[in-house]
Structure 1
Amino acid sequence: MTMIQALRSAMDVMMGRDPRVVVFGQDVGYFGGVFRVTEGLQKKYGSSRCFDAPISEGGIVGAAVGMAAYGLRPVVEIQFADYFYPASDQIVSEAARLRYRSAGDFTAPLTIRMPCGGGIYGGQTHSQSPEALFTHVCGLRTVMPSNPYDAKGLLIAAIECEDPVIFLEPKRLYNGPFDGHHDRPVVPWSQHAMGRVPEGHYTVPLEKAAVFRPGQALTVLTYGTMVWVAEAAARETGIDAEIIDLRSIWPLDLEAIVTSVKKTGRCVVVHEATRTSGFGAELAALVQEHCFYHLEAPIARVTGWDTPYPHAQEWNYFPGPDRVGRAMRQAMEG
Structure 2
Amino acid sequence: MARMNMIQAINSAMDVAMGRDPKVVVFGEDVGYFGGVFRCTAGLQKKYGKQRCFDAPISEGGILGAAVGMGVYGLRPVVEIQFADYIYPAFDQLVSEAARLRYRSAGGFTAPLTVRTPCGGGIFGGQTHSQSPEAIFTHVCGLTTVMPSNPYDAKGLLLAAIEDDDPVIFFEPKRIYNGPFDGHHDRPLTPWSKHELGEVPEEYYTVPLGKAKILRPGEKVTVIAYGTMVHVCLAAAEESGVDAEVIDLRSLLPLDLDTLVESVKKTGRCVVVHEATKTCGYGAELVSLIQEHCFYHLEAPIERVTGWDTPYPHAYEWDYFPGPKRVAQALKKVLED
> Structure 1 residue 39 and structure 2 residue 42: aligned?
yes
- Tell me which stretches of 4 or more aligned residues in structure 1 moved more than 4 Å: 184-189
Q: Which residue of 2 aligns with 1:296?
A: 299
Aligned-partner SS, 1:125? coil
Cα shift readout 1:258-292 (whole Å, capped 9, x = no counterpart): 01100111000000001000000000000000001
Query: Distance in 2 between the 1:246 and 1:173 partners?
Result: 16
CA shift for structure 1 position 153: 0.1
Query: Distance in 1 between the 2:195 and 2:40 partners?
Result: 22
Q: Which amino acid aligns with 2:329?
A: R
> Structure 1 residue 244 and structure 2 residue 247: aligned?
yes
Q: Which residue of 1 aligns with 2:51?
A: 48
Tell me if structure 1 keeps the 8 A contact 2:6–2:150: yes
Query: Distance in 2 between the 1:217 and 1:113 partners?
Result: 36
Query: Distance in 2 between the 1:162 and 1:39 partners?
Result: 26
Query: Distance in 2 between the 1:67 and 1:188 partners?
Result: 39
Provide TM-score, normalisation by structure 1: 0.97
Q: Which residue of 2 aligns with 1:149?
A: 152
State the identity %.
76
> Structure 1 residue 284 and structure 2 residue 283: aligned?
no
Q: Which amino acid aligns with 1:13?
A: V
Gaps of at least 5 residues in structure 1 are none
Tell me if structure 1 keeps the 8 A contact 2:179–2:195: no
CA shift for structure 1 position 187: 8.1
Say if 1:188 and 1:56 are closer, same or farther in 2 by CA, change over 3 A: closer
Query: Distance in 2 between the 1:261 and 1:99 partners?
Result: 35
Q: Which residue of 1 aligns with 2:73?
A: 70
Q: Which amino acid aligns with 2:233?
A: A
Gaps of at least 5 residues in structure 2 are none
Aligned-partner SS, 1:292? helix
Residues 1-334 of structure 1: matches in 2 within 5 Å?
A: 1-180=4-183, 181=185, 182-183=187-188, 189=196, 194=198, 196-334=199-337
Q: Which amino acid aligns with 2:211?
A: K
Tell me if structure 1 keeps the 8 A contact 2:147–2:227: yes
CA shift for structure 1 position 178: 1.5
Say if 1:187 and 1:327 are closer, same or farther in 2 by CA, change over 3 A: farther
CA shift for structure 1 position 183: 3.6
C-alpha root-mean-square deviation of aligned residues, in Å? 1.1
Provide TM-score, normalisation by structure 2: 0.96
Aligned-partner SS, 1:123? coil
Say if 1:278 and 1:145 are closer, same or farther in 2 by CA, change over 3 A: same
Tell me how many residue pairs correspond in the alignment: 330
CA shift for structure 1 position 144: 0.1
Tell me if structure 1 keeps the 8 A contact 2:150–2:180: no
Tell me if structure 1 keeps the 8 A contact 2:102–2:111: yes
Query: Distance in 2 between the 1:14 and 1:97 partners?
Result: 25
CA shift for structure 1 position 325: 0.7
Query: Distance in 2 between the 1:212 and 1:226 partners?
Result: 13
Q: Which amino acid aligns with 1:145?
A: P
CA shift for structure 1 position 53: 0.2
